[in-house]
C-alpha cells in the first residue's frame, strides 16, 4: 500500500507533537509537511519545537523544515493541532482548497454537517461529509473533547442496551490536557483546580451528538440530561471520571458490567492500525483503574472501567479512565483518519492552488 502524505498543522504545539510521535512508522500515513507560525517557519523542526515527548524526536522528522501556514502544503490531508482561535479560520480555508482536515480543535465539533467522531461509537456519522461544500473535495472531521471521549465510550454500551435518561459526571483531569506550558506550577502542585474553562459545557452537549442517530443525512441528537463538574488534578496523563447513570430500564450492576464486556465495536473487522485489541477493559479489582498504572493500556487507546456498583441517587455508578492526549486527542484523530481511508474518503490529492491562511501556533 502506498502511504498517504500527511501534513501536521500546529506542529510545534503539544497536540502537534503527539501527532508526530504517533505517526512515526505508521503503515498507512507518512508526514510530508509540518506547519506552524511564522516565527517557527524556516527552521528545522528540532530547532523550532520545545519538545516535551518522553522519547526523542523521530530522526526522520527532526531535520524537516517547518513551513508557514501560508505555504502550500505537499500532502494529501492534514491533522490539525491548532488552537481553536486559529482553527476557526484556518480549517475552513484548508478545506476550501481541497484538503481533508482531521481536527482536534473545538471549532466545528457541533456544526450540524461536521462529523464528531469516535470510530467505535458512530462510524456512520462520516456520511455528514456529503453535506459539506467547502469546494474542491475538502472537508472537516473532528474528534471530541478529551474528557468527552472516555465518558461517551462508557455510555454507548449502556445506551444501546438499556437506554440512558440522566448522567452525572465528575472529572479528575490530567495536567497534560491543558497543553504546554499549561497550569502554573504553584496552582498544580499538591492542589486541585475545580474549574476548567468551557469543559463542562462540552461534556453536556458533545455526548448527545455522538450518541445521536443518522437519519436522512442528519444527526438526531439525543436528549440525555448530563450534569458535569470538571477538575484539574496533579497527574501527568489520564482523565479519571466518576460517573452515575439513570437508565431507561431496571437492571442489576452485574447486567451493567455484562453490557460493557459484551459491547462489540462496529469497526472490529476493519483492522485499523491504531484500534486497540480491547476497546473497553473492565476491572474487577475495586482499586482500579488508576491513571499511573492503566492510562497506557492498548497503547493509550483502551478505555478502562471499574468500580461498577449501585448508586444511591441514580441507578448505577462507575469509574472511567482514558488517556487524554492519545485516545482523547492525537490518537483518536489518527484512528479517525484510518476509518476515513477504509471508507474511501481519503485518497491522494491532485495538484492544487496555493492557499492563504492565518498564522498562529498550535496548542
Per residue of the chain (363 residues), what is the pLDDT tens digit? 789 999 999 999 999 999 999 999 999 999 999 999 888 999 999 999 999 998 999 999 999 999 998 889 999 999 999 999 999 999 999 999 999 999 999 999 999 999 999 999 999 999 999 999 998 889 999 999 999 999 999 999 999 999 999 999 999 999 999 999 999 999 999 999 999 999 999 999 999 999 999 999 999 999 999 999 999 999 999 999 999 999 999 999 999 999 999 999 999 999 999 999 999 999 999 999 999 999 999 999 999 999 999 999 999 999 999 999 999 999 999 999 999 999 999 999 875 544 444 333 333
Catalytic residue, chosen from 75, 146, 230, 257, is 146
- Residues 6+ away with beta carbon under 8 Å from 214: 122, 124, 125, 127, 128, 220
- Asked if 146 is an active-site residue, the reply is yes
Which residues pair with residue 220 across a beta bridge? 213
- CA of 280: how far to CAs of 120, 157, 275, 295, in Å? 10, 10, 11, 12
- Asked if 230 is an active-site residue, the reply is no
Q: What is the pTM of this model?
A: 0.95
Which residues pair with residue 4 across a beta bridge? 29
Catalytic residue, chosen from 205, 239, 281, 323, is 239
Rounded Cα–Cα distance for residues 98 and 349 (Å)? 8
- Residues 6+ away with beta carbon under 8 Å from 276: 297, 298, 299, 301, 302
Amino acid at each position: 500500500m502506498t502511504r498517504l502524505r500527511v501534513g501536521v498543522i500546529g506542529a510545534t504545539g503539544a497536540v502537534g507533537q503527539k501527532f508526530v510521535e504517533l505517526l512515526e512508522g505508521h503503515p498507512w500515513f507518512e508526514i510530508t509537511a509540518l506547519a506552524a507560525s511564522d516565527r517557527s517557519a524556516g527552521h528545522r523542526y528540532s530547532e523550532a519545537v520545545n519538545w516535551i515527548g518522553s522519547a526523542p524526536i523521530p530522526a526522520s522528522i527532526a531535520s524537516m523544515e517547518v513551513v508557514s501556514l501560508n505555504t502550500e502544503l505537499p500532502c494529501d490531508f492534514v491533522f490539525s493541532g491548532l488552537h481553536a482561535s486559529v482553527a476557526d479560520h484556518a480549517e475552513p480555508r484548508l478545506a476550501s482548497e481541497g484538503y481533508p482536515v482531521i481536527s482536534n480543535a473545538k471549532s466545528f465539533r457541533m456544526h450540524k454537517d461536521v462529523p464528531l467522531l469516535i470510530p467505535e461509537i458512530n462510524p456512520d456519522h462520516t456520511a455528514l461529509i456529503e453535506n459539506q461544500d467547502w469546494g474542491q473535495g475538502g472537508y472537516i472531521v473532528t474528534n471530541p473533547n478529551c474528557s468527552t471521549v472516555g465518558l461517551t465510550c462508557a455510555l454507548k454500551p449502556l445506551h444501546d442496551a438499556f437506554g440512558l435518561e440522566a448522567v452525572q459526571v465528575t472529572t479528575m483531569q490530567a495536567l497534560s490536557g491543558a497543553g504546554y506550558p499549561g497550569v502554573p506550577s504553584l496552582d498544580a502542585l499538591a492542589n486541585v483546580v475545580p474549574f476548567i474553562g468551557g469543559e463542562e459545557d462540552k461534556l453536556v452537549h458533545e455526548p448527545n451528538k455522538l450518541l445521536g442517530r443518522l437519519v436522512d443525512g442528519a444527526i438526531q441528537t439525543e436528549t440525555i440530561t448530563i450534569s458535569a463538574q470538571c477538575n484539574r488534578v496533579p497527574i501527568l496523563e489520564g482523565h479519571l471520571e466518576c460517573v452515575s447513570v439513570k437508565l431507561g430500564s431496571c437492571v442489576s450492576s452485574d447486567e451493567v458490567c455484562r453490557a460493557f464486556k459484551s459491547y462489540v465495536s462496529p469497526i472490529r473487522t476493519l483492522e485499523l492500525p491504531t484500534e486497540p485489541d480491547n476497546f473497553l477493559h473492565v476491572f474487577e479489582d475495586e482499586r482500579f483503574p488508576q491513571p499511573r498504572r492503566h492510562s497506557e493500556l492498548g497503547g493509550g487507546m483502551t478505555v478502562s472501567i471499574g468500580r461498577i456498583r449501585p448508586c444511591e441517587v441514580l441507578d448505577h455508578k462507575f469509574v472511567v479512565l482514558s488517556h487524554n492526549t492519545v485516545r482523547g486527542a492525537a490518537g483518536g484523530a489518527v484512528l479517525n483518519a484510518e476509518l476515513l481511508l477504509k471508507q474511501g474518503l481519503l485518497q491522494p490529492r491532485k495538484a492544487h492552488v496555493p492557499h492563504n491562511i492565518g498564522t498562529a501556533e498550535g496548542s
